[in-house]
Structures are given as structure tokens and as C-alpha cells.
Structure 1
Amino acid sequence: MSLFPTDDPDKVPFAGILPAAPRPFVLGNGEGEKSLVFDQLFTILLTGDETEDQYGAFTMQGRKGDRIPAHLHKAAHEIFYVVDGEISVWMDDAADHHSKTTLVTGDFAYVPAGTVHAFQIHNSTKVFGVGTAGFERFFHAMGQQTDLTEPQGVYVPSFEVMRAAGEKYDTVFMPEFQFRD
């Protein structure tokens, strides 16, 4: 049973890019469902539709920028694997884990559901991510559909769009949260 909407309208504009069923397929370099969120390009490579609601996979590419606001995903687990570049990840589980770690090419981080986290890109960086099935559409709900192959420009969603995406994908934005740096 899916944790996120199975009749998700955020996938409608992307129909036909991925098979939407658990069958073999190949994507070429730069292919996938793409959305610009702030100054980062998210490319969805695999969704819950293809994995029978097990997981989704995506890449995030960006250039040096500010730290994104603290947030947590109530139901989604998320990983960061740095394909190329450097990114700092802050994590706070409200119990005994409080960290800021700078990840470089080849490094990996796991963010369990319910963990407050944020990240900041330090130079041109590409991250491979995997999350709980359905969560990958969060980036479409927040972003603007694009055909870009490299991050260019900036798309800032309105507060209403961010709030609606957060509610739909069980994400809580916490801009006032203070990490222990």
C-alpha cells in the first residue's frame, strides 16, 4: 500500500517519460522527469509506479548556494549519495543524533523519516537519491517542469505551493529550526 497518493496529478505532465509499470527500461544521460526547484534540477529516474510502491530514485544537481530550510518528512526515508561535488548535510533526530557533515564525491548519508534535515551545496554537485515510494513526486509538486539538462535559472515556488506540497507529501518545513553546527 502506497504512503503517498497513487492517483497523483503531479505525474500527469510527465506521462510517457517513465513506463508507469514494473517493467524493464533504460534512460539515457539527462533523461527522466525533470523539475526545477529553487536553483536545483531534480530528475526523477524511477517512481513507485515502476517499483510496486517500494522506492523511487532521483538525481539532484545544483551549484553553490545557500542552505535550504530545515524540514522533515514524516513518512519518507531518504538517502544522499554524492556522485560528484561537495554538499553539507545537517541532521537532527530530536533524540541523540545532531550532526553537520560535509559529503564529497563517493560519500553517502541516510535520513530516516522524522529526522529534521537540510543541505547546502558548496560547488557544482550531483547527488543520487532514493526515497520511500511516491515521495519522489514531491519535487514536481514544489517545482516547475523543465527540459533542462543542467541547473539554470531559479524557480521559487509560492508559499501556497510549498505548503500544499508539504501537506500532500507529509513534509514539514521548519525555517526557524536551529541546528547545532
Structure 2
Amino acid sequence: MPVLGPGEGPRLTALGSTYTTKAAGDVSAGAYWLVEEEFWADTTPLHTHTAAEEAFYVLSGEVTAWMDGAETLLRPGAFLLVPRGTPHALRRVSDDAVRMLTLVTPAGLEEFFAAVVREGEEALLADPDRLVELAASYGTEIVGEYPAG
């Protein structure tokens, strides 16, 4: 059984978050990807995962989640489960990064973020159609911007 201390684990930064992987698909036999996420962007786009559930447990900071047509404030200790196929987005409301324990099941979404790093985030942001295409190839459909209140 692998043991990782605070801050340990493979790390990558992409699209407004830094992900410290605690268990990827290669360790969980594809069952899940578990990361400590530092979300420092203003928002994520509204998106859905076609073949995965995503869960967030807020460790520090404050974030709002847009899901099911409503915005909910999440503070430390809050838990959010996003069923597969559910459009959702996050917006950071605290000054500092939001730290969350993020679980995606089954594993695989970590490969999308690794692909963003490989292809170059700046190039992908300059070509939104390519970013949408890349996301779709990993089971994520980008629906639009974070909904305006």
C-alpha cells in the first residue's frame, strides 16, 4: 500500500489548477483518480463528463459550484458529488487558492490534463476549438463559460 506524505505525489499544473496525484489509474486499477487540487483560476468552464463521476471535498478556501441551474457556496468541509453527464462549473470566491480533495471515477481524466501540458496550454487556449476537441477525446464536453448569476 503506497503512503504519500503531505505535498507528495506527481504534480502537474493545467487550466487553472495544480494537481498533486495521490492515486492515479495505474495504482487504482483504473477505478479512480484521487488528487489534492489547488484551484487558483477564477472559474472553470461549464462542462460535463460523459463517462465519469467527479467529487470534491473542500479543504480550504471558498468556491461556488454551478450545477442543476443553481449556484451553491462551498466552504471547508463541504462535499459535492457531480454525477456523470451533469453540467457543472466552479468559481473561486476566496482570495487564496481553493484546496480540494478531488476524486474522479473511473480514472482517465488525469490523462486529459497531462495532454494539455504536452500540447502546451497557451497554444490550446489560443485555439479553443482544439481544446474542445482534446477535452472531448477524454470524455469531457465543454458546454460554455461559467454561467452569469
TM-score by length of 2: 0.82
Is there any run of 5+ residues in structure 2 with no aligned partner, and where? none
Residue equivalent to 1:43: 20
Q: Map Cα deviations across residues 50-71 of structure 1 (whole Å, 9 max, x no partner).
A: 11221110121133x4222111
Q: Distance in 2 between matches of 1:157 and 1:58?
A: 25
Distance 1:103 1:157, change over 3 A: farther
Paired residues in the alignment total 141
Larger Rg over CA atoms: 1
Q: Distance in 1 between matches of 2:132 and 2:42?
A: 21
Residue equivalent to 1:95: none
Distance 1:156 1:87, change over 3 A: farther
Q: Distance in 2 between matches of 1:127 and 1:177?
A: 19
Q: Distance in 2 between matches of 1:121 and 1:89?
A: 9
Greater than 3 Å deviation, 4+ residue runs: 176-179
1:138 equivalent to 2:107? Answer no
For the 8 Å contact 2:66–2:147, the answer to whether it is kept is: no
Residue equivalent to 2:60: 84
**Stretch deviating more after TM superposition (99-108 or 166-175):** 166-175
Q: 68, 71, 76: which is aligned to 1:105?
A: 76
1:49-128 matches, within 5 Å, as 49-63=26-40, 65-92=41-68, 98-123=69-94, 124=96, 125-128=98-101
Say which structure is richer in helix: 2
For the 8 Å contact 1:143–1:157, the answer to whether it is kept is: no
**Stretch deviating more after TM superposition (53-62 or 160-169):** 160-169
Q: For residue 55 of structure 2, what is the amino acid of its counterpart?
A: I
Q: Distance in 1 between matches of 2:122 and 2:45?
A: 13
For the 8 Å contact 1:57–1:136, the answer to whether it is kept is: no
SS at match of 2:7: coil
Q: Distance in 1 between matches of 2:146 and 2:65?
A: 14
Say which structure is richer in strand: 2
Q: Give % identity.
A: 32
Distance 1:121 1:178, change over 3 A: closer
Is there any run of 5+ residues in structure 1 with no aligned partner, and where? 1-23, 93-97, 145-154
Aligned-residue CA RMSD (Å): 2.2
